[in-house]
């Protein structure tokens, strides 16, 4: 089923496949710059994750996760030079509770994305960068991503023992002069590493770090037309911002498939 465009071409019918791929985000940034973008799926009442009582971990609610949104997630991944995540993701991966292997998926329905990356001269899979102060990253989870370049960025208070442990496991460590990795520090590291497109899929704390210093460029938000409730949940932003971050709507599509009603929105951050 096609999507109904609401903005900027209201009333136009468009196909879901390649909706985001045609943006060519990997070519958006000029040389010496990087485009950083994030993606979330949320319920109408703003829940991006709920607490699983059995595991003690937060995860995307099963009632809003769906293959159509996941296709667009994969298209955003396909355009990235590197995917930005946190140590929490690797802890979930070690427990078998992570959604994915930071992929462009190997399933037949994503074969066109792998071919597209080859045509664009991109590596088969994006690199991975982990932002972590604790460095509590299970080595068993790192082993699941063999063949990928994995970089870990941490603050100056990080344990030397943990740094050596991760280096021996094949990760590339960068220790910042600050107590924690800052948004501007991350952006400079990405540029110096030669990346032009970076896809942030970490949780609300990393999101706030990027927003606080205005280094996030685009936000892709799927809003599933469902109310979830619950008391223990995450939204797409946590913590304090010194000043509000204003967004500019770039595109909006309505998806009313047989099993899901949702909105696909793309926002650009307005720079002060």
The two structure tokens encoding residue 233: 């949940």
pLDDT band at 98 (very low <50, low <70, confident <90, very high): low
pLDDT of residue 99: 65
Residue 101 has a pLDDT of 65
Q: What is the mean pLDDT of residues 144-156?
A: 90
Q: Report residue 26's pLDDT band, with 50, 70 and 90 as the boundaries.
A: very high
Domains and CATH numbers, the chain: 3-269 (3.40.430.10)
Instruction: Report the alpha-carbon distance of residue 10 to residue 5 in Å, rounded.
Output: 5
When the pLDDT of each residue in the chain is averaged and rounded to a whole number, the result is 93
What are 108-129's pLDDT values in tens digits?
899 999 999 999 999 999 999 9
Tell me the average pLDDT across 5-30: 97
Percent of the chain surpassing pLDDT 70: 98
The confidence band for 97, taking pLDDT boundaries of 50, 70 and 90, is low
As a whole number, mean pLDDT of residues 37-49 equals: 97
Residues 103-108: what's their mean pLDDT? 84
pLDDT at 272: 65
Query: Which residues have a Cβ under 8 Å from the Cβ of 75 and sit 6 or more positions away?
Result: 18, 19, 20, 21, 113
List of residues 6+ apart from 194 with CB closer than 8 A: 81
pLDDT in tens, 192-230: 999 999 999 998 999 999 999 999 999 999 999 999 999
Smallest Cα–Cα separation from 44: which of 202, 216, 221, 231? 221
Q: What is the pLDDT of residue 102?
A: 73
Question: Nearest 5°: phi and psi at 72?
Answer: -70, -35
**Tens of pLDDT, residues 53-92:** 877 788 899 999 999 999 999 999 999 999 999 988 888 7
For tokens 């994915």, the residue is 100
pLDDT at residue 266, as a whole number:
98
What's residue 89's pLDDT?
A: 83
Model confidence band, residue 235 (pLDDT cutoffs 50, 70, 90): very high
Q: Answer yes or no: are the C-beta atoms of 64 and 226 closer than 8 Å.
A: yes
Segment among 4-8, 132-136, 236-240 with least mean pLDDT: 236-240
The whole-number pLDDT of residue 53 equals 82
Other beta carbons less than 10 A from residue 217's beta carbon: 22
């Amino acid at each position: 089923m096609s999507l109904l465009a609401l903005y900027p071409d209201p009333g136009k019918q468009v196909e879901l496949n390649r909706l985001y791929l045609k943006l060519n985000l990997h070519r958006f940034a000029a040389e010496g710059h990087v485009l950083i973008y994030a993606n979330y799926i949320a319920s109408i009442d703003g829940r991006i994750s709920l607490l699983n009582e059995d595991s003690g971990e937060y995860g995307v609610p099963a009632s809003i996760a769906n293959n159509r949104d996941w296709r667009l997630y994969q298209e955003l991944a396909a355009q990235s030079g590197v995917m930005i995540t946190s140590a929490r993701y690797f802890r979930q991966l070690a427990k078998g509770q992570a959604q994915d292997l930071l992929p462009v998926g190997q399933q037949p329905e994503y074969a066109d994305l792998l071919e597209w990356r080859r045509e664009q001269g991109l590596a088969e899979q994006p690199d991975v960068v982990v932002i972590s102060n604790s460095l509590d990253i299970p080595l068993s989870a790192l082993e699941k991503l063999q063949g990928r370049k994995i970089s870990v960025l941490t603050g100056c208070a990080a344990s030397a023992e943990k740094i050596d442990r991760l280096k021996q496991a094949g990760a590339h460590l960068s220790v910042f002069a600050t107590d924690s990795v800052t948004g501007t520090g991350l952006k400079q590291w990405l540029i110096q590493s030669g990346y032009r497109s970076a896809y942030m899929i970490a949780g609300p704390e990393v999101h706030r770090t990027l927003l606080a210093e205005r280094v996030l460029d685009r936000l892709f938000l799927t809003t599933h037309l469902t109310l979830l409730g619950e008391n223990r949940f995450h939204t797409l932003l946590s913590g304090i911002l010194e000043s509000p971050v204003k967004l500019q709507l770039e595109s909006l599509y309505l998806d009313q498939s047989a099993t899901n009603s949702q909105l696909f929105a793309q926002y650009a951050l307005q720079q002060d």
